[in-house]
Structure 1
């Protein structure tokens, strides 16, 4: 836990999606490579695409073309993003899997009466389809995708909108994510943040500036129980 962190048992918990609740990198890689193939460009590796995830589909597309040696800008980038939209929706649950402890953690927290939400940079439609596919949507009182707000993470907009829908103030909530965008969004929203190790970040989890780092979501309920007992 970082120095001076003031964690307590939250009334509401917001989760990031990609790299936190789900491993979507294989599906995202397939979508990116289908888009590139349509332009006659060679495929990118899973590791390459994984390093591009986290700031929304538009930034993903921009980074993918740059990595392919064919950077796009302005109209070219807008056209590529229009092409990507239907491709992306075809690749959201084929290869994607829940990360260890995701279903169990949400179930336990839901039963405990904690209000739950998702705040992600992934588009709203794809986010909802994935959560429905894995049976998680019924546990969630708020699902906020990147296109539901004006500014994506690391801006706090999606977190604040989710908390508004959950009827909870930031001081009574907690963010759980995997990247610097999640930490910065939580800080901007004035709420504590837990990072789950092993997500889509090039920076080591301990260096992201979170209040707490958990090895996996399997450890989250126990960590929160510790907060409850310390309260």
Structure 2
């Protein structure tokens, strides 16, 4: 008998892809800027700083505000950020429109869903728990789950492996260049969505497919999988 192929693994970025986390992340960044006596920055500016993890967000925010601190002070501010954010992680953060229906349909078709994010794993799980989304994903791999993180291929490949899949039957769904590069480095096709956090327009990031909304996700996934 011919063995059945492994299930397809659809790996999703979290911030700006699954969930609009900007309100709670940027509210927390405002608290950090208040702590150092800096003026709060415009949301249209700070929104583009999201995507490389909390530490990068704090660093980018301080830099944009013209604040330089010694490493020990930065670590204190970072820990303050994490504590406040964890306490307010789902105050305003919500899944993007159409996401739940798309996840339901992908699962119904037998695909395995996973999260591959540069958010710390414990924060990723906390957010998904609060939004009652955790059980939808076979794997939740954060920035600290493996020794490397996106755009390193090892992050995505490790996620796929833990989900019981193989790279030749996997897809990365994201909103930023980090996601696209991780997919390219892993030789996995990518889909990008336009409602996330990136200075470069999503359609110019170089993904295999750009979709305007989640109503197009399932058919796009099936089309990409059929190529393999």
**Fold-level similarity (TM above 0.5):** yes
Determine which of 106, 120, 123 is the counterpart of 1:123: 120
* Cα 1:174–1:106 shift into 2, 3 Å: same
Partner of 2:215: 218
Would you say 1:26 and 2:23 are equivalent positions? yes
Partner of 1:4: none
Aligned mates of 1:22, 1:91 — CA distance in 2: 15
Where do 5+ consecutive residues of structure 2 fail to align?
Answer: 1-6
Note the C-alpha offset of 1:214: 0.3
- How many residues are paired up? 222
Partner of 1:98: 95
Aligned mates of 2:145, 2:227 — CA distance in 1: 36
Partner of 1:147: 144
CA contact (8 A) 1:14 1:174 kept: yes
**TM-score when normalising by structure 1:** 0.90
Q: What do the CA deviations read for 1:40-99 (whole angstroms, capped 9, x no partner)?
A: 222122212211001111111100101111033533322221222201212310011110
Q: CA RMSD in A?
A: 1.7
Aligned mates of 1:122, 1:116 — CA distance in 2: 17
Where do 5+ consecutive residues of structure 1 fail to align?
Answer: 1-9
Partner of 1:187: 184
Aligned mates of 1:152, 1:12 — CA distance in 2: 18
Aligned mates of 1:112, 1:81 — CA distance in 2: 41
Partner of 1:113: 110
Partner of 1:13: 10
Partner of 2:3: none
The worse-fitting range, judged by mean Cα deviation, of 191-200 and 130-139 is 130-139
Aligned mates of 2:70, 2:50 — CA distance in 1: 19
Aligned mates of 2:137, 2:31 — CA distance in 1: 32
Note the C-alpha offset of 1:133: 2.1
CA contact (8 A) 2:171 2:221 kept: no
Aligned mates of 1:53, 1:220 — CA distance in 2: 23
Aligned mates of 2:109, 2:216 — CA distance in 1: 16
Note the C-alpha offset of 1:226: 4.0
Partner of 1:169: 166
